[in-house]
């Protein structure tokens, strides 16, 4: 059984992780958009720190974050 990717994985790691189990980038976006994981949501909406951008983790790809929101 494959494990879920880390909520701290970058875009490339996520694409590679989903591809490793036969899922496309589109599948990744659809499934990620449905995610209810607290750690994941925290990176989109409740991230705090000196580099936070409108509550979003600045290490997330800005376009990917926009799609997920």
Report the binding-site residues for substrate: 5
The span from the first CA to the last CA of the chain, in angstroms, equals 29
Binding site: residue ranges?
A: 5
**Chain-centre distance of CA 54, in angstroms?**
16
Handedness of CA 35, 31, 56, 17 (dihedral sign): positive
What's the CA gap between 42 and 3, in Å, rounded?
A: 20
């Amino acid at each position: 059984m494959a494990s879920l990717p880390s909520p701290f994985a970058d875009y490339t790691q996520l694409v590679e992780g989903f591809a490793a189990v036969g899922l496309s980038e589109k599948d990744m976006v659809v499934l990620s958009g449905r995610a209810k994981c607290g750690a994941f949501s925290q990176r989109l909406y409740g991230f705090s720190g000196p580099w936070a951008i409108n509550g979003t983790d600045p290490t997330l790809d800005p376009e990917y974050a926009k799609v997920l929101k």
